[in-house]
Structure 1
Amino acid sequence: MSGATDAILQRLTALHPKVIDLSLDRMRRLLADLGDPQDRIPPVVHVAGTNGKGSTQAYIRAGLEAAGLRVHAYTSPHLAFFNERIRLAGQLIGDEMLAETLAEVEMVNAGQPITFFEVTTAAAFLAFSRVPADYTLLEVGLGGRLDATNVVEAPLLTVITPVSIDHTQYLGETLAQIAGEKAGILKRRVPCVVARQPDAALEVIEARAARLGCPLSVAGQHWTVAREGDALVWQDERGLLDLPLPALPGPHQVDNAGTAIAALRELGFGQAEASAAMRRVEWPARMQRLTRGPLVQAAQGCELWLDGGHNPAGGEAVAATLALMPRKPTHLVCGMLNTKDVTGYMRPLAPRVETLTAVTIEGEAATLPAEDTAAAAEGAGIPATTAPGVTEAVTALARQHPGARILICGSLYLAGRVLRENG
């Protein structure tokens, strides 16, 4: 990211006192002043949910690109560089176009209150409207109903990945309330693919779909997916697809892949595109094995892994993945935000790991102090200590536990810093 882009983003961040303020009024005003670029972008697949949004979108993109199609994609947050949020016809947005687009949004906004996410979403719509493509994949930032992406009036398809408890300060305390916010992306008579859901969430989604006349394609009702040996088997009333296992590790990726295949089927694609999606998918910081860089050297022969999951469902997914990996002592290096259910994240990990070394996430205002993260780990039954930073934690663990598995986890912001600093 260029210095010009960084300066613009810093100025725009100052225009609204809240990092998150769910409302569509500011977004609609800004987009109208920009000429409503969201109405001129390629056909949209809109993805909401608590967990698996990014992975599911990545599978869909891999399948579409395997068919030779040009795909725009919008995702958040970024890991190492802001450009990762906006992908134009298959390529990350370049520094020059990003700076120009943000500058245009800043000029048109003219100093009016606007959140960081609203600005960047408006910039993405502008860029998408100016570069030809066949599809646009939009990932919801938070919730759905009042998310800045939810200004597209007529998407081609909507997708809801698994809903669980997260962001309760914005979305509600119960699964039903949170599912209601996610289901806010449903549009009249637009088909929706629904991943496997808790009953309380599915009831809300189905009720809204019935009111809007949305055809649903629901996991367990209209299609099934399962791992059978070294294959992924996906089936609906039209037939069975025998596919390679997803390239992304972890049992939860079977469900994410299944949801993406259902979306591809709704878009008219079949076996070839689904197979390619499984093989070609890439999505960093989801149980990613680190194989190069200074941290790998610091690990001194230990396995080094990285994961950005940060809520109880994320902790369960990591624990399930560890359960399927070859048995090896596993030690966590963990940094978390103070807005998360830290104990809920750690509890499923406790039977699978030996120790946790807590770190404070440098540069993050909402970081949980390392001491508090360590205390939460102890409360969840994981022996814990602290370290000044990730490098120090990895170095100490490698010295104390030669040949072990070290997993850096707890936050996408921590994962992004690791990827940025580790090359």
Structure 2
Amino acid sequence: MSPLILTNARIVTRDEVVLGTVEVEHGRIVSVDRGNTSLPGAQDLDGDYLIPGLIELHTDNMEKSFTPRPGVRWPSIPAAVAHDVQVVGAGITTVFDALAVGDVMQSSSRVTQLKDMAETVAKAKKQGLLRADHYLHMRCEMSFETVVDLFTPFAENPLVRLVSLMDHAPGQRQFTNIDKYREYYQGKYHFSDAKMDAFIESHMKTSEIYSAKHRTTIVDMCRAHGLPMASHDDATVAHVDEASSDGVSISEFPTTEEAAKAARDKGLHVLMGAPNMVRGQSHSGNISARELAAQGAMDILSSDYFPGSILQGVFTMHQNIQGISLPKAVAAATINPADAAGMTDRGEIKPGKRADLVRVRLSEDMPVVREVWGAGARVY
């Protein structure tokens, strides 16, 4: 592979933005220099930003590619490739595909296609069909009766890099406000009022029966296999204390300022949704990501359900929150998730790091991905 030289770029490093040149050899960054170069073969980026490839720890976008409409099951490899193209087009070069292990519905397509999605990612990755670097994030729904049985085969899967502990039952965590729970699931499943009432009662009951014991079992399995864990939708200090006691390292989408600050105090990484950051509010009526960022109570952005939101979320942070520099905002989707996931080879434009790079141009203050390189090879 011939060297890649990118010049006349506004390079976003850990600490500053510099106009300069990046040189890449054998998939690694070998130099980052101020000023432009006239070396043969250098590509002029016309003053566009050059940022590290985005690192996504939690996206359920792949599920949408496998089931693009209710009752429609798309062929597996094309579905995975379509998801991958969307991810890379959003500037994401490392992605943890979040797969639901259990759900709020027994007959959910998430449950029936879990094994196929995981096997497809492994197969497509092995065959070199994917442009981004894909790993698995197992989202374990503790209130689901068979969640332990579903999770067990994944405990030794080398692609599994994160396990989240979730309970979406109404009356707590994400859905402290039961009216919000009703609005979300009644809209999603088109239940009648009577059926929705029964659904709420059933979900609260299964949570009471299963959640605590399933959490204990899965935490023990993760510890035994050295799998990093994330808590999900922490709402109280007690939730954070439990997570810290379990050995959790990431607090995903805390729903209150109290929980987010407690998580930071305990040394947990706090991950918030980029859609929340872009919109300025949570769709569930919980704490605003902008508020937490302004208070220094979050450090990771995730695109969650919409891949294109993460880059926009980065620039929203920088443009709308006083005191947040562009390098600090970019770190929320690069350096910080890399640190949280234990990926020391990427997340920063620095000699020796993996050459995952994204060229970004602003159009009326909106970031647009122009080109993407993965390990020094152009992938978009």
Q: Which has the higher strand share?
A: 2
Q: Which has the higher helix share?
A: 1
Structures share a fold, TM > 0.5?
Answer: no
Give the TM-score, by structure 1 length: 0.29
Q: Which has the higher contact order (CA 8 A, sep 6+)?
A: 2
